[in-house]
Amino acid sequence: MTAAPWRLAVEGLRAHGDRLAVEGVAEPLSYRRLAGRAEAVADATVEARLQGVAPRAEPYDVPVRALYKVHQRVAGTYRKGRAFLAGDAAHLNNPLGGMGLNGGLHDAVDLAGRIDRVWHGRAADGLLDGYEKNRKPLVVNAILAQTARNKRLLEERDPAVRAQTLEQWRRMAADPGLAYEHMLQTSMIGPLRQAQAAGNMGPELTAFVEQRIRQLN
């Protein structure tokens, strides 16, 4: 069975540091030099890109294709009275690392726990103010920083720098301690530990983090 086009795009992204995934297409960063948006997603262009990643006799069927503009944003505030922002409504990041969904789930766990305690009279309304205080720094310092780093590594064109990066990954893979610390950071458990130590997390998220750490150990 032939792999799905989106899978091929991901494999191409990993294999070629100068490529970005474009909804089913492994598209070079130089796509801006093409005549325009229509040409960039035209059948011939898409087919050529996919064949360049994984050649095969039959043409690829890519029913949906679009250019993705990599950008990162964070809302000025996560709360306005009784309204709260979470997930992509609160923060957007480039998709290199899959941290947007995880960050949104962390938002939901934190906020839901705070709302539950206030709604049932177990905490004052001020507990809700801690949601932004806890989540926003984690987004800026952990999620956006990590995804921006991933993007820089994939766009790096200097062979010497690429070789140095690969050597760092090899050392990390060979050292259980380094690999464990890397896993804590990319899973966002490490930043949550820091927030926990600072006393910024609600009790529900604290319990969630402690449970996950026990599972990892």
Q: What pLDDT is attached to residue 209?
A: 61
Report the C-alpha gap between 193 and 35 in whole angstroms: 49
Q: Are strands 26-28 and 73-74 parallel, antiparallel or unpaired?
A: unpaired
If DSSP codes are grouped into helix, strand and coil, which group holds residue 63?
coil
pLDDT in tens, the chain (217 residues): 344 433 333 333 333 333 333 333 444 444 445 446 777 788 888 899 899 989 999 999 988 887 777 777 889 999 999 999 999 899 887 776 667 788 888 889 889 888 988 999 988 898 898 889 888 888 877 777 777 777 788 788 888 988 898 898 899 999 999 988 888 777 777 777 777 777 666 565 666 666 666 665 5
Strands (DSSP E) contained in the chain are 19-21, 26-28, 73-74, 79-80, 83-84, 91-92
pTM: 0.61
Give the integer Cα–Cα distance in Å for 85 and 8. 34
What is the pLDDT, as a whole number, of residue 40?
79
Cβ atoms of residues 217 and 193 within 8 Å? no
Cα dihedral value 62, 26, 74, 83, nearest 10: 20
CA 34 – CA 133 distance, rounded (Å): 44
pLDDT score, position 74? 87
> Can you give the pLDDT at residue 119?
93
What's the confidence (pLDDT) of residue 16? 39
Give the model's pLDDT for residue 3: 41
Dump the DSSP string for 12-51. Answer: HHHH-TTEEE-SS-EEEGGGGGSS-HHHHTSHHHHHHHHH
Which residue has tokens 């319990």? 207
Predicted local distance difference test score (pLDDT) of residue 4: 42
Domain ranges for the chain, please list them: 5-53, 82-155+187-216
